[in-house]
Copies of this chain bind each other. A is one copy, B any other.
Amino acid sequence: MSSPRPQRADAVRNRAKIMAAAHEQITANGPEVSMEQIATAAGFAVGTLYKHFPTKTDLVAAVVAASITAVADDAEAALSRTCDDGSPALEEITGFLTRLIDTAAHDHAVKAAARALAADPAALHDEARATAALDRLIHAAHQHGDLRPDFSVDDLYLLFSTAPTDQPAHVRARWLALLITGLTAR
């Protein structure tokens, strides 16, 4: 009944190295990088990756889930700017969307995270934090009468997941401009 044996210390370290390298590679090249490439970047052989993650899909999912963290941070910062400094909620929402899209344009991991969010709006590491902050932000905008009353967090995720992240900056900006006028209250 005794626990079979604890995980080795170096294994924990190496797992972190693998995650870091995978995150870097996916950020730069998208989730279709080869396991070989991730392994090389991490300084290991491919077999090692499979000692930690049963399949490539699992590794990618772990990385994608973790990359929500930065998004959640940004959402919370936006929320506190509204709550503490009185910045207009609608402005913070559109600012958040803008930053997110610009980030995703360079960061394939965030882009993949967006798709995952839209497909299954849960089960992503730190997703709850982001959702909670955005929810309060949206609520504040509703109270203020800025935002169309039926707008929800799911809508935000939906819009983000369809952003033209592979288009040049001026196209992304135009897309946002078309969108945002549809968000204001009637």
Q: Is A163 an interface residue (CB 8 A)?
A: yes
A33 close to B (CB within 8 Å): no
A50 at the interface (CB under 8 A from B): no
- Which of B159, B163, B174, B182 touches A183 (beta carbons < 8 Å)? B182
- The answer, yes or no, to whether A144 is at the interface (CB within 8 Å) is no
Indicate whether A82 reaches chain B with its CB closer than 8 angstroms. no
Is the Cβ of A179 less than 8 Å from the Cβ of B181? no
Question: Which residues from chain B contact A175 at a C-beta distance below 8 Å?
Answer: 158-159, 162
Interface residues of A in 154-186 (CB under 8 A from B): 155, 158-159, 161-164, 167, 171, 174-175, 178-183, 186
Residues of B within 8 A of A180 (CB): 182
Q: State the number of copies, please.
A: 2
Distance in Å: Cβ of A53 to nearest Cβ of chain B: 25
Report the separation of the CA atoms of residues A75 and B104 in the bound assembly, to the nearest whole angstrom: 33
A180 nearest in chain B by CB position: B182
Partner of A164, one of B151, B161, B186: B161
Considering only CB atoms, which chain B residue lies closest to A156 in the complex? B178
Chain A residues at the B interface, C-beta cutoff of 8 Å: 118, 148, 151, 155, 158-159, 161-164, 167, 171, 174-175, 178-183, 186
A–B complex contacts, Cβ < 8 Å, 28 sampled: A118-B164, A118-B167, A148-B181, A151-B178, A155-B174, A155-B178, A158-B164, A158-B167, A158-B171, A158-B174, A158-B175, A158-B178, A159-B175, A159-B178, A162-B162, A162-B163, A162-B164, A162-B175, A178-B179, A178-B182, A178-B183, A179-B179, A179-B182, A180-B182, A181-B182, A181-B186, A182-B182, A182-B183
